[in-house]
Structure 1
Amino acid sequence: MIYAEILAGGKGTRMGNTEMPKQFLMLGNKPIFIHTVEQFLLNRRIDKILICCPEQWMAYTKDTLKKYSVNMDTIFVIKGGNTRNETILNGCNFIEENFGLHDDDIILTHDAVRPFINQRIIDDNIDGTLKYGAIDTVVEAFDTIVHSIDGKLITDIPLRDEMYQGQTPQSFNIKLLMSLFHSLTKAEKEILTDACKALVIKGKDVHLVKGEVYNIKITTQHDLKVANGLIEGDK
């Protein structure tokens, strides 16, 4: 089975003073997360879609999906976790409890606030994960990356040709991902910034697929303005 997990568990504090989490804000004529879900619904290879959101917003999420006439036949709204990786694991546990796990089951984890994902990226993630077991979506770093430990002095300037900016989806064989999550020590869990790092620190290969510059994450008010500009430009 091929699952997509839409990560809508964030509170969106960097968006500023808004009445709801950023994934529910309007982009064009519908909420951001609706745009995202619709892209995954278009892909016929995906069997089921999980939307992981804060518990207090689960009813609102379901009502919004119905309001915008989203086909709910393959969609499940579930409770997110306190962290990104906890949310991902909640999704995997839901799959195991409700559908069972098979050796070739994979999951595409994607930010609810990356609504400009396209079908090529989704298909590349599916193909890559079925072949390799773990995929990260990236774009080349166009700017020089400066490393600083204390935020005051340059520690290192890595070669730009070797640097990439991470996007999503991040996609995994579910059994592989769950086994690695469960094997992490408390110290290892504390340094995780995303699921791919769990594999990297355990010495597992994570293959790359090419993202797109416009596959942006809407995090701030500026991002939302840029996203609305992209929506208007497509009309």
Structure 2
Amino acid sequence: MAFEIRKFVFLLQAESDYYREVHQLDLKYQKVYDEINKKRASILAGEYEPSGPEIEWEDEEEDDEEKLTNGVKQISINGMDENTKGIPKFWMYAMKNANEDALMGMVEPHDEPVLEYLKDLTVTLKEPGNSGFTLNFVFSENPYFSNSVLTKEYKLREGPDPESPLDYDGPEIISCSGCEIDWKTGKDVTKTTVKVKKVKPRKGGKGSPEKDLTKVHIKIFLFIIF
């Protein structure tokens, strides 16, 4: 029995060490991804125009006429044409298209006008240990809030949970928190004030005017404030 317990402990330690080394690879290649993402951001903003081999895509199943037809359809969607600078509203459309399959339906209609101003999305990994990561939502100046960057921080448990070590399958998220959003006056999309009814003054009341009874509905702004 004691041998089996020691064997189990060694296996857990080996698996923990494995994921620590994997995290070091993540840190190494995140620098590569960061450079790729910078170029992506410059393309979306219209600061860099890909050309030559960067825009070539060989597809043997399409002939030249089909390529031309499909290309015209693609550049004319959503009010964009060949003269449009960059790719406006890219992240809003990306999240909207991935809403059901990847985002579990979190993007609601009231989120979309805000997401039109989202210009970049990056990740920052904790180091040296794999204790968490932060998502950075970079916004252009907009009428909704004064923040230029909204963050969502995730904390990870690196090793096994002491209460259920047998369930260990690598680092897991144990908590997360979003930053405070500095909403501009009257622009908080997470709250909607609805007029319910008018409250009349009591009979015999002196000079008491009618009052509007209102209710505030709380909504969720995507997954940033979860």
Higher relative contact order (CA 8 A, sep 6+): 1
What interval of TM-score do these two structures reach, taking the shorter chain for normalisation?
A: under 0.3
Q: TM-score, normalised by structure 1?
A: 0.20
Higher helix fraction (1 or 2): 1
Which protein has the larger Cα radius of gyration, Structure 1 or Structure 2?
2
Q: TM-score, normalised by structure 2?
A: 0.21
